[in-house]
Amino acid sequence: MSEGLNILLLSCGTRNKIVQYFKKELSGIGQVIATDCSELAPALYEADNHFIVPRMDEEGYLDVILSICKENNVKAILSLIDPELSFLAEHKQSFLNIGTIPIVSDYDVVEMCFDKYKMYQFLTRNGFKTVKSYIDKERFYNDIEVGVINYPVFVKPVKGSASINISKVTSKEEIELLFSRFDNLMIQEFMDGIEYGADVYIDLLSNEPVSIFIKEKIKMRAGETDKSVSIKDKELFELIYNFVKKAKFKGIIDIDIFKVDGGYYISEVNPRFGGGYPHAFESGVNVPEMIINNITKNVNEDIIGRYDEGVYMMKYNELKITRGS
């Protein structure tokens, strides 16, 4: 591999571990470059090189990122936050034109992930069990009356992430109040079961899912997995494989799944590194290495299920100190 196999991580924020893992894999062959719009993003200072950039919604943002890629011989680019994935997918060709590969699914697939109702429709249309969802509250009230669904339910934005503005409700009055105050809401069944997360890598060259890591979530905090344990389940591997192929994902994704009464229900997908990815890495699933293989034109072998079972992850707070100049 030639010198200068550089990878750019956009909006790195607090994802220090991801930066560390890429640095480890690129040691001696390239650099990790990180960006953020805040100089107080701790992951910046883990990278070999970093840039403070405008906010993603500011004019000229694309030009700033393209020039960083050009000037630093960036071979691949990925973002660690949701809103930027659509931006990367939308401008995929602009990056490819300068020799930088965006590690992201296609635009329509990314957009489906961020529209929870569209994802619900895709899953039901393709025969996958999923969480019952409604954007028409009258239809929901009818289903309540005939016993298809029961309270409590969740009311959440159709587009939203990090579990922001999600309300658990137990009555029609609460639903009416929320729908009168906010636009673009949906009602979703409350899943009383075991929650799983799956970190999946879909090879950029073969388009085949080559790695699936499953963790049972033990404790959640603000939409992120706080404690989890690695597990293996043949039925779940097959379900995830079929779903990922059908939806045509690319690169690294993170899937939320519920198990209720012995059945698996796909809930939602983050088409990026999930917050719990370090659990997969520490159990033997090296996605940075797979990405490097792909950008150096090598197809990854199928390593589905090849990781350590019974590995526990526990998150805790760490500090990064820098001195002002």
67-123 pLDDT tens trace? 999 999 999 999 999 999 999 999 999 999 999 999 999 999 999 999 999 999 999
Average pLDDT score, the chain = 95
**152 preceded by a cis bond (ω within 30 of 0):** yes
Q: Which of 66, 85, 104 is the endpoint of a domain?
A: 104
pLDDT of residue 169: 96
Q: Is 86 in the same domain as 142? A: no
Q: Is 141 in the same domain as 90? A: no
pLDDT of residue 1: 29
CATH number of 22's domain: 3.40.50.20
Domain that holds residue 27: 6-104
Q: Is 11 in the same domain as 95? A: yes
Q: Is 219 in the same domain as 255? A: yes
Q: What tokens appear for 289 in the block?
A: 């290495």
Q: Is 160 in the same domain as 205? A: no
DSSP string, 153-213: EEEEESS--TTTT-EEE-SHHHHHHHHHH-SSEEEEE---SEEEEEEEEE-TTT--EEEEE
Q: Is residue 244 part of a domain?
A: yes
Q: Is residue 124 part of a domain?
A: no
Instruction: Note the pLDDT tens digit of each residue in 30-58.
Output: 999 999 999 999 999 999 999 999 999 99
Instruction: Note the pLDDT tens digit of each residue in 242-270.
Output: 999 999 999 999 999 999 999 999 999 99
